[in-house]
Amino acid sequence: MKRPRRRFLQLAAGAAALPAVSQLVWAQTYPSRPVRIVVGYPAGIAPDVTARLIAQSLSDRLGQQVIVDNRPGAGSNIAADAVVRAVPDGYTLLAITVTNTVNSTLYDNLSFNLVRDIAPVAGTFRSPQVLEVNPSVPAKTLPEFIAYAKANPGKVNFASDGIGSAPHVVGELFKVMAGVDLVHVPYRGSYLPDLLSGQVQAAFSSIATSIAYIRAGQLRALAVTTTTRSDALPDIPTIRETVPGFEAYLWHGIGVPKNTPIEIIDKLNKEINAVLSDPNLKTRFASLGGETMLMAPAEFGKFIADETDKWAKVIKFAGIKSK
């Protein structure tokens, strides 16, 4: 009786080990076909541009083509939902942005939870936004702008790409922390023509979008949103220098469906971080006004959770509602 029982236990132990062994073998042969990065924005927008730059070099490192799949709509929720529903095998990646963390609170009826349903892989890119004004605004510095806004409550407008967009929520954070009453003007398309003409007075824009207008004197940069000054605008102070504790980034990263094997996540993280360490890519990111954001999966996961919590507080305090 002892021998059959011992044999049974050996077989049971072997069977239990099979999934781990097969998963390891699977990870070692990954990828064996093309990989997709699903981007929730149209071609040519910053998240698409950074994803394509990464995909090009990642294809070489993985030995398989990495394809960018643009699925714009619903504030990038369509793309996120598609990845959440994908097979967790490492062949469908999500280009995550700060907007995804905002959406977690902005939308009441999402079919997924970003923190729960997307496994973090790697951070990729981050950049400041720049608070800029039309030259007709009688403020040359951030303290002067704050004083002007306080003297004219409800009379200074700031534009954004739409309700819940990064320029919107950053503006709301600024209103709270600086103690000013600015009027939000959401746009469906680009707000730049109206900002350049003076129809709206201010905006929190990406440096890549605005730097040419700033250098030409068509817009006046007052401050950047990050904790340190931007290499692209080294003479422009941070908001934090006037408003203690202020910090906001535009950022991008990569995620996969939950239950993706950890071996595959680790492999993707290693290869993406290697791509980000390439001086040529750093130069390209710098041309977009940003920098690489190397993170381990756990570190990026904490970053996403912290960003989700941060923007949840802003959205709830400001009473922002999606339409």
Residues 139 and 95 in one domain: no
Q: State residue 1's pLDDT score.
A: 46
- Residue 115 makes CB contacts below 8 A (sequence gap 6+) with 104, 301, 304, 305, 308
Q: Say how many CA atoms lie within 13 Å of 71 toward its Cβ.
A: 19
Q: Is residue 37 part of a domain?
A: yes
Domain extent, residue 118, equals 31-124+250-318
Tokens 């939902």 sit at which residue?
A: 81
Residues 139 and 237 in one domain: yes
Q: State residue 130's pLDDT score.
A: 97
Number of H helices, E strands in the chain: 12, 11
| Omega before 19 within 30 of 0, i.e. cis | no
Residues 23 and 76 in one domain: no
Residues 140 and 224 in one domain: yes
Look up residue 261 and give its DSSP letter: -
Q: State residue 5's pLDDT score.
A: 63
- Residue 44 makes CB contacts below 8 A (sequence gap 6+) with none
- Residue 116 makes CB contacts below 8 A (sequence gap 6+) with 258
Six token digits for residue 95? 């280009």
172, β-bridge pairs: none
Alpha-carbon dihedral 91, 97, 101, 103, rounded to 10 degrees: -90
What DSSP string runs through 185-239?
Answer: EE-SS--HHHHHHTSS-EEEEEHHHHHHHHHTTSSEEEEESSSS--TTSTTSPBG
Judged by phi (left if over 0) then psi (alpha if -120 to 50, else beta), residue 58 lies in: alpha
Query: Minimal CA–CA distance to 186: which of 164, 206, 208?
Result: 164
CB 170 within 8 A of CB 204: yes
Q: State residue 188's pLDDT score.
A: 87
The last residue of a domain, from among 222, 241, 260 = 241
CB 135 within 8 A of CB 220: yes
What DSSP string runs through 38-82?
Answer: EESS-TTSHHHHHHHHHHHHHHHHHTS-EEEEE---GGGHHHHHH
Q: Give the whole-angstrom CA distance, residue 254 versus residue 42.
A: 17
Q: State residue 12's pLDDT score.
A: 60
| Omega before 31 within 30 of 0, i.e. cis | yes
CATH number for the domain including 49?
Answer: 3.40.190.150
Q: State residue 28's pLDDT score.
A: 75
| Tally of domains within the chain | 3
Q: Is residue 323 part of a domain?
A: no
The last residue of a domain, from among 180, 212, 241 = 241
Residues 155 and 235 in one domain: yes
Give me the amino acid identity at 66. V
Six token digits for residue 237? 């102070």
Tokens 């707000």 sit at which residue?
A: 191
Give me the amino acid identity at 22. S
Q: State residue 26's pLDDT score.
A: 57
The last residue of a domain, from among 188, 211, 241 = 241
Residues 23 and 35 in one domain: no
Residues 235 and 256 in one domain: no
What are the pLDDT tens digits along the chain (323 aa)?
Answer: 455 666 655 666 656 655 544 555 556 789 999 999 999 999 998 999 999 999 999 999 999 999 999 999 998 999 999 999 999 999 999 999 999 999 999 998 899 999 999 999 999 999 999 999 999 999 999 999 999 999 999 999 999 999 999 999 999 999 999 999 999 999 988 999 999 999 999 999 999 889 999 999 999 999 999 999 999 999 999 999 999 999 999 999 999 999 999 999 999 999 999 999 999 999 999 998 999 999 999 999 999 999 999 999 999 999 998 87
Query: Minimal CA–CA distance to 178: which of 153, 206, 211?
Result: 153
Residues 23 and 60 in one domain: no
